[in-house]
Amino acid sequence: MNLLKPEEVSAKLGITKAALPALRRRESSFPAPIRVSQKVLRWDEADIENWLNAKKESTDGESDRIR
């Protein structure tokens, strides 16, 4: 298991670190972080990769939304 820091997750997604909390609120399917300590969050790299692949496979990138 490779744990990613918020900066690394943001870089992988092409967003700023400040945009990460908004993404987490907006995308219910976004992987939950692993709480290492009270203030330290990390994400499993495999979870992020799987989430990205699921987004890529969706026809319009908005698989969780109803039109």
Rg of the chain, C-alpha, whole Å: 12
35, 37, 66 from 15: Cα distances, Å: 21, 24, 24
Which residues have a Cβ under 8 Å from the Cβ of 64 and sit 6 or more positions away?
A: 27, 28, 29
Q: Does the structure show a pLDDT above 90 at 27?
A: yes
Q: What is the mean pLDDT of the chain?
A: 90
Name the pLDDT band for 58 (thresholds 50, 70, 90): confident
Q: 62 φ, ψ to 5°?
A: -130, 50
Where is average pLDDT lowest: 5-14, 21-30, 38-47, 58-67? 58-67
Lowest mean pLDDT among 5-9, 24-28, 39-43, 61-65: 61-65
* Token pair belonging to 51: 């989430």
pTM of this prediction?
0.81
